[in-house]
Structure 1
Amino acid sequence: MTRLSVNINKIATLRNSRGGKIPNVLDAAINCQKFGAEGITVHPRPDERHITRKDVYDIKPHITTEFNIEGYPSDDFIKLVTDIQADQATLVPDEPGQLTSDHGWNTVKHHDFLVDVIGRLKAAGIRTSIFVDPDLHAVEGAAKVGADRIELYTEPYATMYPLDPDKAIAPFIDSAKLARQLNLGINAGHDLSLKNLKFLIDKIPYIDEVSIGHALIADALYLGLKNTIHEYLECIQP
């Protein structure tokens, strides 16, 4: 079954816009789990414009499900992830000031770098996932560098979905099938929402985990966090 990991970055963005502790990021993590989320995702960036390093340390003792930390695998990031003993590290090829993740790794070009990073994380007992575009070469490269999973970058799917759902999902189905043949786990994330999530899961029912933040937190403004999480869980039920 597909698991839902809630990315709480946007909670931290709102808090940081005013300063102080409202809304409280730790309370958000605790409540997301209480309301049925099966994981918590954070993506600390070097400028700490949303989740801070302190947040990551504060949240960890309260994780009762799974803690997924996303980020560019700098030495600082690897130290943070290993100090925390995250359940999963999701490696993204972001520039330091990048607004949001907008592409996957070229796993062929960065083969040696990723082998080194993944080796360090695996030595610490941390599952690794590599953010990739729906590209067969990238998926093959992820297997060759020793990743445990891929995370399919789903923004192109979300953009095309309203126009042609079958065309939108096609490259993701092909990439997921190859990943499965290569014994890679499959995660997915970016711009997934209540509008497009169920179709994705129906077409690729063996996705291990979806990580959703922006749309879910936006929906929670209208529906409430508890109701929103329940609606997303309904989308991924078989």
Structure 2
Amino acid sequence: MIRFSVNINKFATLRNARGGNNPDVVKAALDCERFGAQGITVHPRPDERHIRYTDVMQLKDVVTTEFNIEGYPDERYQQIIIEAKPAQATLVPDGPDVLTSNAGWDTIRNQAFLKEIIQELKKNGARVSIFVDPQPHMVEGAAKVGADRIELYTESYAREFLVSPEVAVKPYIESARVAHELGLGVNAGHDLDLNNLNFFAKSVPHLDEVSIGHAVVCDALYYGLENTLQLYLQKLKV
């Protein structure tokens, strides 16, 4: 079974646009779980432009599915992991000035840094996933630094899917196979949606989890949140 983790950042973005607590981020997370999500993902950035530190601390006490915290592994992020103790810590390479994740880690150039960080995170009981581009040598680098999983960055798949789905998915198939051979779990995320998700799920072997946020919130405007989550779960039945 491919697990579906809902990234709730955009709920927080909408709340922050007006102040107050509408929509209620904690309620949104609990509703996503109630409607079938098997995980909740957050990315608490330093400027708190969407998910805030206080959100994470509230969510850690109520999320009953798999809690996944993304972020650049600076001291602030590491402290959040220590306090929140999520099931999964997903390391992304983007700094505080980046609008949204736009590349995977260079696991070779950053080998020493990532290895040290991962050792520390694992002391707090978190499974560690590294955000990588669909390149086998970067997957191999993730294994060498001690990651438990990779998260394949799927922006290029989503873009190229519109031209040729078979060509778009090919590097992801190869990377997932390499990961499995090395004992790594396989996650995926970024720009997956109702149009391209099923083909990806059917094509990529050994896929453990997808994390989707922006598209879920956009679709919920038209279909409603409960119906939207059911539509995504149907796409993951392969």
TM-score (norm 2): 0.99
Partner SS state of residue 120, structure 1:
helix
Partner SS state of residue 221, structure 1:
helix
Contact 1:2–1:205 at 8 Å: present in 2 too? no
Structure 2 unaligned spans of 5+: none
Distance in 2, matches of 1:164 and 1:71, equals 32
Percent identity for Structure 1 against Structure 2: 57
For the pair 1:182 / 2:143, whether they are aligned, the reply is no
Structure 1 unaligned spans of 5+: none
TM-score (norm 1): 0.99
Deviation at 1:137, TM superposition (A): 1.1
Match in the other structure for 2:37: 37
Distance in 2, matches of 1:97 and 1:71, equals 13
Bigger relative contact order, structure 1 or 2 (CA pairs below 8 A, ≥6 apart)? 1
For the pair 1:19 / 2:19, whether they are aligned, the reply is yes
> What RMSD, in angstroms, separates the aligned Cα atoms of the two structures?
0.6
Match in the other structure for 2:87: 87
Deviation at 1:206, TM superposition (A): 2.1
Distance in 1, matches of 2:57 and 2:116, equals 25
4+ aligned runs moved over 4 Å, structure 1:
none
For the pair 1:208 / 2:208, whether they are aligned, the reply is yes
Residue pairs, 1:1-238, within 5 angstroms: 1-238=1-238
Distance in 2, matches of 1:237 and 1:172, equals 19
Distance in 2, matches of 1:218 and 1:166, equals 26
Partner SS state of residue 61, structure 1:
coil
Distance in 1, matches of 2:55 and 2:124, equals 21
Q: Which amino acid aligns with 2:190?
A: H
Q: Which amino acid aligns with 1:187?
A: N
Distance in 2, matches of 1:83 and 1:95, equals 22
Distance in 1, matches of 2:171 and 2:133, equals 9
Distance in 1, matches of 2:29 and 2:82, equals 20
Deviation at 1:205, TM superposition (A): 4.2
Distance in 1, matches of 2:184 and 2:206, equals 11
Contact 1:154–1:191 at 8 Å: present in 2 too? yes
Partner SS state of residue 44, structure 1:
coil
Partner SS state of residue 187, structure 1:
strand
Partner SS state of residue 208, structure 1:
strand
Deviation at 1:16, TM superposition (A): 0.3
Aligned length: 238
